[in-house]
Chains A and B, each alone.
Chain A
Amino acid sequence: MEYVNPLTGFRLDGRRPNEMRQIRGEIGVVAKADGSALFEMGNTKVIAAVYGPREVQNKGQQINNRALVRCEYSMANFSTGDRRRRPKGDRRSTEISLVIRQTMEACILTHLLPHSQIDIFVQVLQADGGTRSACINAATLALADAGIPMRDIVTSCSAGYLCSTPLLDLNYIEDSAGGPDVTVGMLAKMDKVTLLQMDAKLPMDIFENVMQLAIEGCKAVAHYIREVLLEHTKQLECHRGA
């Protein structure tokens, strides 16, 4: 199957190989949560809600000098093509929960909030590839909305290699093609990588190209997220009558 048209260079959905899908982020979608955000990357739609810092519910897990960060990733039954039976407990969801938790833990200044718990809940409403990245981006926005101190904005993007071309931001069809899928999560301004995952085989020099492409995608997302946060802050200023 030709994922990249050899004549025109377009992908299946009409994008160029180094073009991301359309991204959209909105803050404050869940009124009851301390912080919440909706993030869309193309057809992938994800809601993240942050509750915290609050009292640790299970006293046995309390940490004396840092905050406890918990994360739960779940997909809605109707989010994928076929209806899913087990939205939460399966291995993939547990693995992604762990990945998101560790990624966000690296950037939250947990030593400022000892004896407390920060809960990050991510709910996938529509899945079309790149759910991991969309979840991390949504979680960043939600944490910023909750006012939790962070080192930097964490953004994530995926890239792959099909038909001898590095492709940015794979959708579901490209992802299930069997080629390599590199997901990168980075702290944008500090230019440091916190998350790097890849599966399938890839020669070393091509891997460097693909990872560089993903890093550029992350920077583009970070630019957009910064704009969204600035806009939101201006609106808050306006409402407070400053």
Chain B
Amino acid sequence: MESSKGTEGLAGEIEVEAYRRLFPLPFYERHLLESVRPDARPLNRARDTTVALGPVASADGSALVKIGDTTMLAAIKLEVMIPSADAPDEGSLAIEFHMPPICSPSVRSGRPAEVAPVISQRLSDVITSSEMINLNELSLISGKAAWMAYLDIYCLNADGCLFDAALLSAVAAFSHLQIPLVSVNDDGRVVAVSGELTEGKSKLELVNKEKRKLSLRSKPFSLTCILHEKYILADPNSEEESIMDTFVTVVLDSWGQLVSIYKPGGAVLANMSTIKACIAVAKSRVKELNNILNESLSEMEVIDYYSKKSVVAQLHADKPPKEVTSEVQKSLS
């Protein structure tokens, strides 16, 4: 390319940071020639991902997801509503994605970010079409009461791949969701009941016997790749997204089936082999994400199990750590 020839001489003289700011595309192309990216990732590797379940104690289900620096907080609140006449056995979902001004310098207060409603709509579409949630599970009393699940996802830090992180946080929040106990009070209205009612309150008749989780049929996970000439870069950060504009998002479910492909225009035209390559990278990423989510879920289950057992132990704060550990182990065994 002519531009990179002309700047080659300059490159030796300008500092790396200045070169990166002034000529971002040639900077990246120099890296892509060596099949690596400026943050030392190979082209098909995604950033480190962590999932934390239950950060928002007041919500019925919540999750905090970080992919690299991109941070998403998802929380689900359940409210009782009257189901519609043509679907008396089904609850419903309302999914909203917010980008508050703290997440990025480009979001101005008063003017919502351009991508926020787009991601909101796509999340709704993907979660509905992947049939992850069986709406019949959200029903309480047929024709009279059902759960309306409000899922709110807040982007706390926007550094590329917002859709992937948002979808992962939504799936994690739904995996963590526990439907609270309810009963019907004297007016015929459904009220929430707090957890400790095993002291024989016979007046209250429980509609569901214990806090239960939703059984998710298949969990959708996604991967966004950027196309540039003949390169495919997986999981771009915001700098890469700003200089290369063609991206493809592939959503697969945990059984490896294709849920959605999204390529909204862009300068690079993709042929079948490129799309197939994107799908292949997405497949391995989906396995990775599934493992990460399952690990977090099993950690939560351990905590739940021991908290249900109501194990009480006397821990003395002034004893050395080894003794405390052995005391804890003794009481847990």
Contacts and interface: CB of A to CB of B under 8 A. Distances in A.
Contacts of B71: 30
A125 interface: yes
A119 B62 CA distance: 29
Nearest to A81: B58
A230 B59 CA distance: 34
B293 to A, nearest CB: 21
A48 to B, nearest CB: 8
B75, B101, B102, B156 pick with most chain A CB within 10 angstroms: B102
Contacts of A81: 58
A87 B105 CA distance: 20
Interface string A45-75: 0011101001001000000000000101010
A126 interface: yes
A77 B96 contact: yes
A87 B100 CA distance: 10
Interface in B152-175: 152, 154, 156-159
Interface in B89-130: 96, 98, 100-105, 108-109
B73 interface: yes
Contact of A36 (B56, B100, B102, B108): B102
A78 B156 contact: no
Contact of B57 (A34, A43, A47): A43
A31 B157 CA distance: 7
B59 A78 contact: yes
B77 interface: yes
- Contact residues on A (Cβ < 8 Å of other chain), bracket: 20 to 34
Contacts of A29: 156-157
Interface in B226-244: 238
Nearest to B58: A126
Given A32-B104, A121-B102, A78 B56 contact: yes
A79 interface: yes
Contacts of A54: 105
A240 interface: no
B15 to A, nearest CB: 18
A123 interface: yes
A33 B104 CA distance: 7
Nearest to A50: B102
22 contacts: A29-B157, A30-B156, A31-B69, A32-B105, A43-B57, A43-B58, A48-B102, A54-B105, A57-B108, A70-B109, A74-B100, A76-B73, A76-B152, A77-B150, A78-B58, A78-B62, A83-B77, A122-B102, A123-B154, A123-B156, A126-B57, A126-B58
Interface of B: 56-59, 62, 69, 71, 73, 75-77, 79, 96, 98, 100-105, 108-109, 150, 152, 154, 156-159, 238
Given A30-B156, A31-B159, 18 more contacts: A30-B71, A30-B102, A31-B69, A33-B102, A33-B105, A43-B57, A48-B102, A51-B101, A57-B108, A76-B154, A77-B98, A78-B58, A78-B62, A79-B58, A83-B79, A119-B101, A123-B154, A126-B58
List of 8 A-B pairs having minimum Cβ-Cβ separation, nearest first: A49-B102, A78-B75, A77-B152, A121-B101, A31-B69, A72-B109, A121-B102, A78-B59
